[in-house]
């Protein structure tokens, strides 16, 4: 499957999908931090290149509720509307399968409520960082490894020139879950409703075993 991972410089999600055999390109205005297929530039240059799936991480600086104290200023100078438009470019794209990630913010009102909200501690990382997913023709992501610990490490990061970059990186456990579960779903040939009906209600170990089986098809 030809997949675009938009607004990613870390290569975390790109590499996870590549490991499952997909043809994956990441794209960002920053160069990639790890070796791999990456378009260093504006995603608008390649957004219509015939992708089977788009996974997008649009910048949240002007959208997340964590920055609400600056919303008035950002509305006045147009920054927030520009960020909304960029987010909606992905939401309105005609690609068949789309997942858009963003923290809790105004897009739940401007666009619609997310299909789900996930946490790192559901995927092996003992931290909190509420992350929204808006999905099209993709199933909800299921927890893979619930662990103890609810540390707000991201929120507590000290000011630095790399703070924004480090805050935006996808957790490895979430990247692997995206690649594994979406690959399994695609290989199954099921509809979203059929897939979710099969795995809903199962405990994590049983669900992971079924997902792994479909990954190998």
What is the structure's pLDDT at 163?
47
The predicted pLDDT at position 160 comes to: 53
Q: Is the pLDDT of residue 51 over 50?
A: yes
Residue 167 confidence (pLDDT) above 80:
no
Averaged over 178-192, what is the pLDDT? 98
Q: How far apart are CA 56 and CA 160, in angstroms?
A: 25
Q: Which of 125, 118, 81, 83 is nearest to 103 (CA)?
A: 118
In this model, does residue 155 exceed pLDDT 80?
no
**pLDDT surpasses 90 at 122:** yes
Ordered DSSP codes for 110-177 = HT---SEEE-GGGBT--B---EEEEEESSPPP--SB--S--B-TTTTPPP-TTHHHHHHPPPHHHHHH
pLDDT for position 8: 98
- pLDDT, tens only, 142-152: 999 999 988 87
Which residue segments constitute the domains of the chain, with CATH numbers given? 2-215 (3.40.50)
Q: What is the pLDDT of residue 150?
A: 80
User: What is the reported pLDDT for 152?
Assistant: 74
pLDDT of residue 169: 86
Q: What is the pTM of this model?
A: 0.91
CB atoms within 10 A of CB 216: 8
Mean pLDDT of 91-108: 97
The token duo for 172 is: 């490895």
Instruction: Give the C-alpha distances (Å, rounded to integers) separating 4 from 35, 97, 99, 157, 190.
Output: 16, 11, 11, 29, 22
Query: In 10 A of CB 87, how many CB atoms?
Result: 24
pLDDT in the model for residue 88 = 98
Residue 197 has pLDDT above 60, yes or no: yes
Instruction: Specify the DSSP class assigned to residue 105.
Output: B
pLDDT-derived band of residue 159, with 50, 70 and 90 as boundaries? low
Q: What local confidence, expressed as pLDDT, does residue 194 receive? A: 98
Q: How many CA atoms lie within 13 A of 96 on its CB side?
A: 9
Residue-wise pLDDT tens digits, 10-48:
999 999 999 999 999 999 999 999 999 999 999 999 999
Looking at 26-40, 42-56, 95-109, 167-181, which range is the least confident one? 167-181
Residue 10 makes CB contacts below 8 A (sequence gap 6+) with 32, 33, 34, 169, 170
The answer to whether residue 106 scores a pLDDT higher than 80 is yes
* For the chain, percent of residues with pLDDT exceeding 70: 93
């Amino acid at each position: 499957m030809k997949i675009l991972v938009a607004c990613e410089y870390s290569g975390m999600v790109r590499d996870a999908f590549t490991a499952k055999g997909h043809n994956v390109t990441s794209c960002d205005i920053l160069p990639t931090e790890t070796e791999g297929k990456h378009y260093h530039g504006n995603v608008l240059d390649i957004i219509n290149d015939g992708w089977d799936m788009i996974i997008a991480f649009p910048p949240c600086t002007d959208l997340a509720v964590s920055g609400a104290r600056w919303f008035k200023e950002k509305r006045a100078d147009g920054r927030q509307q520009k960020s909304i438009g960029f987010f909606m470019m992905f939401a309105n794209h005609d690609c068949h399968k789309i997942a858009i990630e963003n923290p809790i913010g105004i897009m739940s009102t401007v666009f619609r409520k997310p299909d789900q909200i996930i946490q790192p501690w559901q995927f092996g990382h003992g931290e909190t960082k509420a992350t929204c997913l808006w999905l099209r023709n993709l199933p909800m992501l299921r927890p893979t490894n619930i662990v103890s610990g609810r540390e707000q490490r991201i929120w507590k990061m000290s000011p630095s020139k790399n703070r924004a970059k480090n805050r935006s990186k996808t957790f490895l456990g979430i990247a692997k879950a995206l690649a594994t579960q979406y690959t399994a779903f695609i290989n199954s040939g099921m509809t979203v409703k059929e897939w979710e009906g099969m795995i809903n209600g199962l405990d994590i170990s049983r669900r992971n075993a079924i997902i792994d089986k479909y990954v190998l098809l």
